[in-house]
Structure 1
Amino acid sequence: MDARLRITALLTASTLGLALTACGEDGSAEDPTPAGSTTSPSASPPTDATDATDEPTAEPTNPAPSEGDAETTVPAYFVGDTPQGARLYREFRRVSGDPYVAAAALVTGGDVLDPDYRSLWPDGSFADVRQEGDAIVAEVADDGWATRGGLSANGARLAAQQLVYTLQGVAQERLPVRVVDGEGTPVPLFGLEGDLAQASPLEVLALVSISGPEEGATVSGTFTAGGVASSFEANVPWQVRDSGGKVVLDGYATAEGWMDKLYPWASEVDVSDLAPGTYTFIARTDDPSGGEGGGPMEDSKTITVE
């Protein structure tokens, strides 16, 4: 079977295989740190930032929990729509106080920067989130999240994975997430019993995402766009579109790999010839099926060119 038939089969399997498992697998590698002339409303992704699917770096993104008003950069995972169904996308955010509590609050509160993202979590908040031994413990304030409520079965699992990926990103370890009541007794989350483990990244994460530039970033000259992807033959096409939707720049990045997990990609983007104004940067997966699998996955960020 040639490569294009293999990837078409893979895309079809991904479309059908959105039942989110409770067992974790090794996933994406480190993101390249976006560089160049960029500023944004929140902190840029930290140097050597890792996904929760990686081993910790020598200088972890998030050291021990902060005290007082100290700030920490945390990854928060939100839901976005793709042709293959809802998937998780990540934002790096600066938070004050304990990073576990703050990161969980971003997820449960649906506090997104990118308007294309959302949270599946109903209203509410955790009483506490902390690391205890070989697990991350999330203490619920009441039993409001014990059942699925209005969530579908897949929605409940994806909401749980929002929490798992976020808290594991804070810990920089693939620790199980244990949901407990005020007395420390394990309780169900959206009908899911037992410790929550990371589901396969290829099943729950978008197959392309942009870590930089961030939503709302201001750029000038040449900047480095980057993120992670699992795209046909490691090809990651990108575009810059003006406010009317016209493509004014395009190119592609070559990721460090493809198919078995998400790999880093990066590309230099020269906006020096563009008029100042608002644009959209878009990165996509390559689509060898010609749309038969529903079309490519993509991520987009609104940027301002100075």
Structure 2
Amino acid sequence: MSSPSNSATIRDLLHEVTDGVEPEDRLDTIRAATADSGRRTHRGWWTAGGVGLVAASVVTALALSTGGGPRGSEPGPADESTATSTPTEPNPATSRAVPVYFVGDTPSGPRLYREFQRGTGPMSAETFALDAALSGTSQDPDYRSLWPAGAVSGAYEMHEELITVTLEGDLHDRPAGMTEAEAWLAIEQVVRTAQGSFGQGRIPVQLLLNDARTDQVLGVPTSEPLAAGSDLEVLAHVSLSEPSEGRTIRVGRALTIAGVGLSEDDRISVRVKLREGTPVLRDVKFDLDPADSTLSPFNVDLYLGDIQPGVYDVVVSVTNPDGTFDTDTRRITVVD
């Protein structure tokens, strides 16, 4: 994958803006009280350790010509009319599930996968999500971050039409060994995580560096606010929301399989197999809603039947137009 450049930039970006957007996830917790206008929060004492990016000015120009902006890919607040409500400080005693974007490998190269995590302790859910994305603190060992060691998020500010995120560290230039494509995908990690954790769809994200405006981060231009790029160019074509990594389920119970996907044959394959060994104990397929350019949500209950206690892999896969398969895997433990 390569980043937009020179005379081709505006044309490429306009194509990306008009591509499909990611559907809403079934977890309603993302909707809860995330639209406080003008809220500014600092990280406090706690720390966790583009391809496809579009300049917001291009998005604005497209909205003026079409009568609207891009659809939100993440669930918005339960009532968008509350976006101008009185700012509130995060409550340390509560936590909520937030989407965090990590990098995983696919037949098409590195792509983003979405994982829901629940932050706890005296920090905001937004800070928790951003630090997890930067540090690669994923529950799934198949996921990672492309950000250099030591990168953390600082303050953030959210208005109705803009999210501002401050990054901290020596992040102006692209580090040695990082490709241009990886730098763009790393920026996409932060943009999508910020949008998702605030529950504000695809409103633009302005990146600051060490509390100041900067012309670039990791060598990627950041003078203007950024919008997320094309789902089909950035995201893996299948991504699980449920089960979570390490989920425990009792013998005889149904296992919920949920997430988003896009398949050439509009079907998803689900296999359950022993983690240590090759036997496949369940191999089923189910239909996706037909879609040409967007990832469709899916949510099914898989009855495990007489599967005995043990550690298993749940593997979902979709077929790509070139005959390859995108997959996502979760480890579960079945107990009596």
In the TM superposition, 1:261-280 aligns within 5 A as 261-280=294-313
Moved more, 247-256 or 95-104: 95-104
**What's 1:226 paired with?**
258
Aligned to 2:22: 28
Q: Distance in 2 between matches of 1:109 and 1:266?
A: 30
Alpha-carbon deviation of 1:226?
1.2
RMSD (Å), alpha carbons: 2.5
Q: Does residue 1:88 correspond to 2:88, yes or no?
A: no
Aligned pairs for 1:1-306 (under 5 A) are 18-19=1-2, 24=17, 25-32=19-26, 46=29, 53-54=73-74, 56=76, 58=78, 66-96=90-120, 97-123=123-149, 124-132=151-159, 134-142=161-169, 144-150=170-176, 151-173=178-200, 174-182=202-210, 184-193=212-221, 194=223, 195-220=225-250, 221-243=253-275, 244-287=277-320, 289=322, 291=323, 295-306=324-335
Aligned with 1:285: secondary structure? strand
Amino acid at match of 1:217: R
Q: Using a 3 Å threshold, how does the CA distance of structure 1 residues 259 and 278 change in structure 2: closer, same or farther?
A: same
**8 Å Cα contact 2:192/2:228 also seen in 1:** yes
Counterpart amino acid of residue 110 in structure 2: A
Which 5+ residue runs of structure 1 have no aligned equivalent?
Answer: 1-17, 34-44
Query: TM-score normalized by structure 2?
Result: 0.73
CA apart distance, 1:132:
4.2
Q: Give TM-score scaled by structure 1 length.
A: 0.80
1: CA distance between counterparts of 2:205 and 2:247? 33
Segments of 5+ residues of structure 2 without an aligned counterpart are: 5-12, 33-70, 81-86
Q: Percent identity?
A: 30
Q: Cα offset for 1:153?
A: 0.5
Amino acid across the alignment from 2:144 = R
Give the count of matched residue pairs.
Answer: 270
The answer to whether the 8 A contact 1:79-1:117 is kept is yes
Contact between 1:48 and 1:57, CA under 8 Å: does it hold in 2? yes
- Alpha-carbon distance in 2 for matches of 1:217, 1:59: 32
Instruction: Indicate if the aligned counterparts of 2:3 and 2:180 stay in contact, CA closer than 8 A.
Output: no
**Structure 1 residues 182 and 64, CA gap change in structure 2 (3 angstroms):** same
